[in-house]
Structure 1
């Protein structure tokens, strides 16, 4: 049996709620589709009211349900934890979990790279002890308390991702997480629809430092035009301030980055100490964020050699730069397409980084219908960029990485502006939707090609990724 995460007495004490019976929960869930027996089901109100699914959760083996009323059709004697407000109840569980843990807590935010950096931290800290971090991008007003409420009692480290869409969202979540170390990956044009300018975004990101424990460590990217804003916030109060990046002013500095086809090797320094490290993904941006991860580990007092070994085990996840080979022939491994799946999200900074990775990739020649393998990009609209969104899309045409990219296919009304700016020899197809583009994939691609898929989540570029994966041929059972 799994270890108890919450007893009914502990949950009542944390939330101030009432329950009619004793129960013990081994997990916390907000979704009956992924609920496991023994979970405490939290009936949040989002797109649908979670109270409508309480009986389903109990039927699937939930230990209890956190509710603000007895749902229709549910017996009043059922194991219910009744509170005035379910969201507030979840936050109370998160705060209580943070108060009881002995784990060292790290918080991460940034316009680009916060989820991949969270996963780098998971891989790195796992080499030193047990790590708790959300499996998905649970970084908002319910995701952060949920991640905290799920924290195992015996965790050595916790990594909490914190995001935002509007001003004033980060500081309350940071105060809830109370990190010992907080890291800002970068500040870039994203969510500009809710902010006047990038300086406003920088102030919001910097507010993560408001949640730091006394004498905690504030780590930030020192290469940015807005780095002075981050530095000023980092140096407030009883905090240690550390910058990282490629400029000489940074305490953690990259000297040399070598981007290879399947990994990135970097040389830098931490203070006066040299550091050589590797991540199993191509991209200069990964090396920069990995340097920030090394700074986190040092702030926690961890062994640098073990840290570098753990960092070298990290791979990007699905939709975030993950690379895979799509076999087009069941026998000949050369007859394949290489896919760079970065379809989870997009803004100008992350798109520039992805284009750099594609430009560095090595196509395979003389294996397909076209003699030379090609570098091909499928790009969907970048959302929430505010009044300058059209110009930001057009500006992609001037990215120097495009010189090494053969074709760019564009999806959506905003990317149509890029499509029109592209040179004729690089201009692929334009479609209104990802579904329309997905219909063309089998005709557009050839063996030897390297393909990038990138776009904001709402554009559904993942459907293009799915279409590419469906080109895969099953490997025959040669033993049979």
Structure 2
């Protein structure tokens, strides 16, 4: 479906957000928080980061065509370009909220310790016949949500928003902005647990999404006690009756090979039924995970590099991110294969006092290779750099092997994936 382009940051929205009395440009094209990529007609917000202060780059933004500069300081720029506020982040949140409130789109919000992005991508597949816009990449922070909504060029039929948190109170802000009609909490686990009290605290924080959900929510059992009484909800634990629903069981979703993606698809299909979307079951069967999110690669040890020979092995590329919840799901996926199983794991971040606990592992796989000094294991081989792992894999890989490569994005597991692709690509 073709989207009709229109500007959503109108003069009325600007006046409401910034209490401006004078005439406002009607050619505002969006927003930016990065002076290096600001586009002509955008509003540049001077965000103070951990390293850089956006106020120092206001002149650069103007030079690239920024229409306005939102600042907490008096700046030496043309005053008709300056919008001075007490708090730049709060002003950005308010602008985002005002634009969201003007949208007619049905909004679907997705959060969880693991599976947020893959669930979003599955929903894009399921709703592909509809007029949809979704959060780009992993723009799931407060700034990412603002960039997604404020840079919309149309009011779609469906807006799919991915929401992620690293700290307490962030979900309350994200959810109040998103104000979704439907919400999905994929999983609750110890991701970023170093910033929270315990797993129940994570569940409580994630469940702020339910407070702002307008129609129907899907979430694990641990979140039930935080669900508002007036909200329709469905518990999506693997042992719940939801997963045995006949319509879902009989759908083409079960042509997808990976249990974690089947589980994530269940609420998507039920939302599609609520919205009377006819082709969702067929569309979602075409879903394939994006790179680094447990996508499957077939490689060959044969010097001719063809898949027609008998030297093919498989890698599961989970190198984009890792936490204890997504790691366990990936190990379960690996264990579902009958072949020899090799797990290559990088360290996980933001686990705080639980770091040692979640890095003490012995999974039921044939060969366990661990990268980094955080790991302890009775059965695993611990190596200190990715080159050692590449050398070791070169020696042991044989045909029909299934190799899981999983690690936080800050680790070098992605470099191991790159090496294998270049060395053994068919």
Q: TM-score range by the shorter chain?
A: 0.7 to 0.9
CA 1:17–1:446 in structure 2 vs 1: closer, same or farther (change >3 Å)?
farther
Q: Are 2:373 and 1:413 aligned?
A: yes
Q: Residues 95, 441 of structure 1: CA spacing in aligned structure 2 closer, same or farther, 3 A cutoff?
A: same
Give the Cα–Cα distance (whole angstroms) in 2 for the partners of residues 187 and 457 of structure 1. Answer: 20
- Out of 311, 315, 330, the residue aligned to residue 354 of structure 1 is 330
Contact 2:14–2:24 (Cα < 8 Å) also in 1: no
Partner residue in 1 for 2:269:
294
Partners in 2 of 1:77 and 1:200 — Cα distance?
46
Structure 2 unaligned residues grouped into runs of 5+: none
Distance 2:22 2:374 in 1: 52
8 Å contact kept, 2:8–2:99:
no
Residue 377 of structure 1 is matched in structure 2 by 343
Tell me, yes or no, if the aligned pair for 2:141 and 2:165 is still in contact at 8 Å: yes
Partner residue in 2 for 1:455: 407
Greater strand share, structure number: 1
**Aligned twin of 1:308:** 281
Match among 3, 19, 24 for residue 6 of structure 2: 3
1:118 equivalent in structure 2: 120
TM-score by length of structure 1 reads 0.77
For the Cα contact (< 8 Å) 1:320–1:344, is it kept in 2? yes
Whole-Å separation in 2 of the counterparts to 1:290 and 1:309:
12
Contact 1:8–1:24 (8 Å) recurs in 2:
no
Find the residue that maps to 1:24 and give its secondary structure: coil
Q: TM-score, normalised by structure 2?
A: 0.86
Instruction: Give the distance between the partners of 1:8 and 1:83, measured in 2 at CA.
Output: 17
User: Which structure 2 residues correspond to residues 330-345 of structure 1 after superposition, within 5 A?
Assistant: 332-333=306-307, 334=309, 337-345=313-321
Q: Which moved more, 1:380-389 or 1:100-109?
A: 380-389
* Shift, 1:464, TM fit: 2.2
- Determine the C-alpha separation between the residues in 1 that align with 2:235 and 2:273: 13
SS of residue in 2 equivalent to 1:116: helix
String of CA shifts for 1:170-209, please: whole Å, max 9, x gaps: 1222111111111111111222223332222222222211
Q: Unaligned 5+ residue runs, structure 1? A: 222-226, 255-267, 364-373, 476-480
- Determine the structure 2 residue equivalent to 1:182: 183
Which of 269, 276, 293 aligns to 2:246? It is 269
User: What's the CA shift for 1:136?
Assistant: 1.9
Query: Aligned partners of 2:216 and 2:83: how far apart in 1?
Result: 37
How far does the alpha carbon of each residue in 1:197-224 deviate from its partner, in whole angstroms, 9 at most, with x for none? 22222222222111123xx212113xxx
Q: Show the counterpart of 1:218.
A: 217
How has the CA–CA distance of structure 1 residues 282 and 389 changed in structure 2, closer, same or farther, with 3 Å as cutoff? farther
Computed over aligned residues only, the root mean square deviation of the Cα atoms, in angstroms, reads: 3.1
Q: Residue in 1 aligned with 2:109?
A: 107
Match of 2:225?
A: 232
2:343/2:405 contact within 8 Å kept: yes
Q: Tell me, yes or no, if the aligned pair for 1:316 and 1:322 is still in contact at 8 Å.
A: yes
Structure 1 residue 109: deviation in Å?
1.3
Which residue in 2 is equivalent to 1:242? 234
| C-alpha distance 26-313 of structure 1, shift in aligned 2 (>3 A) | farther
1:8 touches 1:19 (CA, 8 Å); kept in 2? no
Deviation sequence 1:156-182 (CA, Å, 0-9, x none): 111122222222221222111111111
CA positional deviation for 1:2: 5.6
- Structure 1 residues 313 and 32: CA distance shift in structure 2, 3 A: farther
The whole-number CA distance in structure 2 between the counterparts of 1:439 and 1:310 is: 41
Stretch moving more, 103-112 or 455-464: 455-464
Tell me the secondary structure at the aligned position of residue 6 of structure 1: coil
**Could you say if the C-alpha distance between residues 327 and 57 of structure 1 is closer, same or farther in structure 2, counting changes exceeding 3 Å?**
farther
Secondary structure of the residue that 1:470 maps to in structure 2? helix
What residue is the counterpart of 2:353 in the other structure? 387
Are 1:172 and 2:149 matched, yes or no? no
The structure whose RCO (Cα within 8 Å, separation 6+) is larger is 2
